Structure 1
Amino acid sequence: MPGFRDIVGHGQIIEHFQNAIKMDKISHAYILAGEKGSGKRTIATAFAQTLQCEQGQTDACGICHACKQAESRNHPDIIYVTHEKPNSIGVEEIREQLVGDVLIKPYSSKYKVYIVNDADKMTVQAQNALLKTIEEPPSYAVILLLAGNVSSMLPTILSRCVTLSMKPVPDEEVKKYLMEHVQVPDYQADVCVAFAQGNIGKAVQLASSDSFNEIRAAALHLLKNVRKMDMSDIMSHMKGISEFKLEVQDFLDFLAVWYRDVLYFKATKDIDGLIFKDQAQSISDQANISSYEGIEEILKALQKAKTRLNANVNFELVIGLLFLLIKEN
């Protein structure tokens, strides 16, 4: 479990937490807002560990008994709220693991910290059950709500929490981390950085994948042949992405890297600035037959498809509409 010192990026959020600790002005409830892989859980666990550390400093020492417990996820006063259904946190889960439990004082420390991952998936009933605790919390309670989509949370919850939004990590920091810690070749790091758009978790996921070359080949095959493929072939291709243990939304980001290359080359004719440098001829061919407006429409459609898939809109409908637009443009 990394301490604040080991986290790449997110300096403003780390500084906020450290100042709160230094000034003894820790809020009873925080929302860490950001997409999957952006580092919400890493920062939340580092904050929780720091609060429990026996040294009482603005970063966890990593060597005391409390830190060792936190690192092994065995600290009795750091509670990870879990849920059985993948897309829903029910009222009973919140009542049993948080609302009821918070009435029990900390076992061994000053604070009792609750980390609720996927907090935006709480049902309305679950959020209402949590509301009273947030409105009248015990002095020792610190509740960390990790959310990918804060718009699905009740305004009454949002108004009573300190919301901290995850910002993209600069590309050069992501690439440095991949080169030093994942030890991937330079060309692969460039693709992963472009794919991740400042999300270091996504960059690491792709860079660490044993299927990186297969993912790349599958994406390039689709991009080069989409005009002559029928929709059944496209659907079959997209459904096969699960073999690479990559979510469809992430694969769409991979496609977006290609179209950003096409847009960049159309505007500059600069091969050196491309991510897919070895595909310069195909990118040039695509740029020649595409308009600026058409490429921008495709990039917007890729983002819209991701949003719809995250909202559980029918897969076939979303992908069908996306590729009809791609074929048109």
Structure 2
Amino acid sequence: MINMPQFKDIRGHQQIIRHLQNAINLNKVSHAYIFNGEEGSGKNILASTFAMALQCDRKEAEPCLECRSCRQAENRNQPDIIRITHEKPNSIGVEDIRVQLNADIMIKPYSSPYKIYIIDEAEKLTVQAQNALLKTIEEPPAYAVIMLLTTNADEFLPTILSRCVSLNLKTVEDADIKKYLMEELQIPDYQADLCTAFAQGNMGKAIKLASAENFNQIKDETVQLLKYINEMEISEIVEAIKKISTHKLDVQDYFDLIMIWYRDVLLFKATSDVDSLIFKDEVRYIQKQANRSSYEGIEAIINALENAKARLNANVNFDLVMELLLLTIKEN
């Protein structure tokens, strides 16, 4: 069973939650919603909780978690909450939409007030699939609710955007993330600080790092690399990064950890304040790097990290990206 929260248990996103609950209370539920936010930002939890509340037997703005429909939704077998799947990893094709949604939506709900379709990774919808979906969104049956979950709403046709209620997920406050990690996942203060800084307002990312079995190993290997990077040869650094990236975390996540380190270096250079640092226990090395680098040099490194992330997103060769990044770090 998937442990589903109620709206009141979700951290952050209060504006969106109010919007969804008002729609239920005022009986003004739209036929189509776009949940737009980066990976791990909470799209799935918001959409799933909304779907569960819409189908809940108590007909209130908060799912009860106790009725038959809520229990089915928790077990992912509520017959009127349908999740669209796709065979191809990088695209949701026209047949996926025709077969799983268009052909099915005319059949009335089995046991609920609504028939709800959740399309995760909706940015992968091909143009043909979007056009097929558009026909349904333009003239949906009264009981239909379609939820598009995406990391990039710009991929949608303007006609889709204009017919959906767009909900853009914002970042969650650091204090809320840290509190959640310490209370719900019971991780120590120092680890919660690092995971929160790493997450940059994304609860999913914070939980992912906090839940990594080898958290301390990941952190230690990253810190070892950064402490001695100036003394290392480029080939040694590339090997070290390759070794680190064999862990479950994405190499992009390492860039975020490295980013936190250089933000600490920049912060210490500007303020000499140890208490504000995330890597407090490495202050000797942070001070050494702060003394050695100029402000421009540290900023060049932070910019190079952002560029490296963008290049990897654009599928530029991994070794080439790493070499450019590491040369910038060595130079500065």
Shift of 1:81: 1.1
Which residue number corresponds to residue 111 of structure 1?
A: 114
Match for residue 82 of structure 2? 79
Residue 195 of structure 2 is aligned to residue 184 of structure 1: no
Give the distance between the partners of 1:293 and 1:102, measured in 2 at CA.
58
Task: State the partner residue of 1:143.
Answer: 146
Structure 1 unaligned regions, length at least 5: none
Pair 1:155–1:201, CA change in 2 (3 A): same
SS of equivalent residue, structure 1 residue 101 = coil
Cα offset for 1:89?
1.8
Letter in 1 for 2:205: K
**3-state DSSP of counterpart to 1:270:** coil
2:220 pairs, out of 217, 221, 240, with 217
Aligned match of 2:310 in 293, 307, 310? 307
Indicate whether 1:168 and 2:174 are aligned.
no
**Aligned AA (1:219):** T
> 1:251 and 1:5, CA in 2 relative to 1: closer, same or farther beyond 3 A?
same
Picking from 252, 256, 270, the partner of 1:253 is 256
Residue matched to 1:120: 123
Instruction: Give the direction of change, closer, same or farther, for the CA distance of 1:135–1:167 in structure 2 (3 Å limit).
Output: same
Q: In structure 2, what is the equivalent of residue 282 of structure 1? A: 285
- The structure-2 alpha-carbon separation of the partners of 1:54 and 1:47, relative to structure 1 and needing over 3 Å to count, comes to same
Unaligned runs of 5+ in 2: none
Partner deviation per Cα, 1:120-145 (whole Å, 9 max, x = no partner):
12222222221222222222111111
Identity of aligned residues (%): 62
Amino acid paired to 2:49? A
1:11-50 alignment runs, 5 A limit: 11-50=14-53
After TM superposition, give the deviation of residue 308 of structure 1 in Å. Answer: 3.1
Alpha carbons 2:72, 2:78 under 8 Å: kept: yes
The one-letter code matched in structure 2 to 1:132 is K
In structure 2, give the amino acid aligned to 1:222: L
Moved more, 118-127 or 318-327: 318-327
Of the three residues 132, 135, 138, the one matched with 1:132 is: 135
Q: 1:301 to 1:85 in 2, by over 3 A?
A: farther
Query: Larger deviation: 229-238 or 164-173?
Result: 229-238
Aligned twin of 2:197: 194
Are the aligned partners of 2:222 and 2:244 in contact in 1 as well (CA < 8 Å)? no
State the match for 1:317 in structure 2.
Answer: 320
Inter-partner Cα distance in structure 2 for 1:51 and 1:151: 28
User: Bigger shift: 255-264 or 143-152?
Assistant: 143-152
What amino acid is the match of 2:158?
Answer: P
- Backbone CA RMSD of aligned residues: 1.6
Cα separation, 1, equivalents of 2:56 and 2:160: 29
- CA deviation digits over 1:220-275, x for unaligned, max 9? 12212333434443333333334321011111111111111111111111001100
Aligned length: 329
The 8 Å contact of residues 241 and 247 in structure 1, kept in 2 or not, is answered as: no
Partner of 1:88: 91
Q: Distance in 1 between matches of 2:39 and 2:227?
A: 29
- Tell me the TM-score normalised to structure 2 length: 0.94
Name the SS for the 1:255 alignment partner. Answer: helix
**Which aligned segments of 4 or more residues in structure 1 are displaced greater than 4 angstroms?**
none
Distance in 1 (CA, whole Å) between partners of 2:320 and 2:98 is: 37
Q: Using the alignment, how far apart are the partners of 1:100 and 1:319 within structure 2?
A: 48
CA distance in 2, matches of 1:213, 1:270: 25
- Name 2:100's counterpart in structure 1: 97
SS of residue in 1 equivalent to 2:278: coil
